[in-house]
Amino acid sequence: MASDSSKKTLSRRQFLKVGAAAATTAATLPATVASATTKQSIHYAMVIDTRRCIGCHACSVACKTEFEVPLGESRSWVEYVEKGIFPNVRRSFLPRLCNHCDEPDCVDVCPTGATYKIASNGIVDITKDICIGCGYCIQACPYGARFLNPETGTADKCNFCLHRVSEGLVPSCVNTCQGRARIFGDINDPDSEISRVLATNAVSVLRPEMGTKPNVFYIDADHTDERDAERYNTYVRIDTHRRQKRRV
């Protein structure tokens, strides 16, 4: 009997121990998950307020000069979306650049690790000395943001002007924007302008169905595509202002 009851106590104690351990794990688990997400101290993102964009291409030009982007290629460009039949018409502008996604497919597919997401600020960048120029990331990007730079033979794209941002400046396209349509900043900082704008506006991202969680947000973006012309029984024209005449 005695041994039996001691066994029982033991097992009960064990049970309690296990229970306590489980409770502790349960309590700390959300904390660890939370710390994992906040570990990235800075989370750079951009909001583009298309209502303030006048389609002047100053951002495209600033980008081109900043990086001496080879002819025929672009890291940043502005698409014109024209739709409707007179008198009911609208033309809007859709500035495009790398989305610095939270789950970038380009980083996943890179066979050498040349393309990577900077852990401390979330910018997706390319190490040119490691890139072999296989073009896999160019295929994988759902936004057509990447190209093969014929001068370096490696993949190239927008890097949120890492060299400027790390010195405390804003990216060149943001700096030059006439209408202040672009807002750049850290969305982990609740007091930053971008956090306030994101919190108080209806925003959208491009191609959210690709599951990449983009970090370039748009206010009042026109998501109309050429294919919608037939569906809406209207006229739609997309001007990409890139070498690629069709939107990619």
Partner 1 sequence: MQELTWGWPIIIYLFLAGMGAGAYTVSASVLLRGGGGFGRKHFQLARYGALLAPIPIIIGTAFLILELGTFMYATEASMYFRWLNLFTTFEVLSPMSWGAWILGLGIIASVVYAYTFLKKEAAPGDEMSSLRRALAWVGVPLGIAIGVYTGVLLGAMPSRPFWNTSILPFLFLVSSLSTGAAGITILKAVFSSGDVEEKNAAMQTAKSAGERDLSDYLLNVSDLLLLGLEVLGIFLLILFAYMMYGDRVDAIAVIMPGGSLFSLFWWGVIVLGVLVPSVIELKYTVPTLLHGRAFIMPRNLELSLATFILLGGLMLRYVVVVAGQITGPVGI
Q: Which of 56, 162, 210, 229 binds partner 1 (CB under 8 A)?
A: 210
HEC sequence for 81-141: EEEEECCEEEEEEEEECCCCCCCCHHHHHCCCCCEEECCCCCCEEECCCCCCCCCHHHHHC
Q: Is 88:101 a contact under the CB 8 Å cutoff?
A: no
Q: Which of 7, 22, 51, 151 binds partner 1 (CB under 8 A)?
A: 151
72 binds partner 1 (CB under 8 A): no
Nearer to partner 1, 105 or 186 (CB): 105
Binding positions for partner 1, 117-136, rule CB under 8 A: 130-136
Q: What share of the chain is helix, strand, coil (3-state, %, to 5)?
A: 35, 20, 45
Segment contacting partner 1 by CB under 8 A, of 10-18, 138-146, 160-168, 181-189: 138-146
Segment contacting partner 1 by CB under 8 A, of 8-16, 50-58, 192-200, 203-211: 203-211
Q: What are phi and psi of 49, to 5 degrees?
A: -90, 95
Longest dimension (CA), the chain: 96
Segment contacting partner 1 by CB under 8 A, of 3-11, 42-50, 142-150, 175-183: 142-150
Q: Where on the chain is the footprint of partner 1 (CB under 8 A)?
A: 94, 105, 108-114, 130-136, 138-142, 148-155, 206-207, 209-211, 223-225, 227-228, 244, 246-248
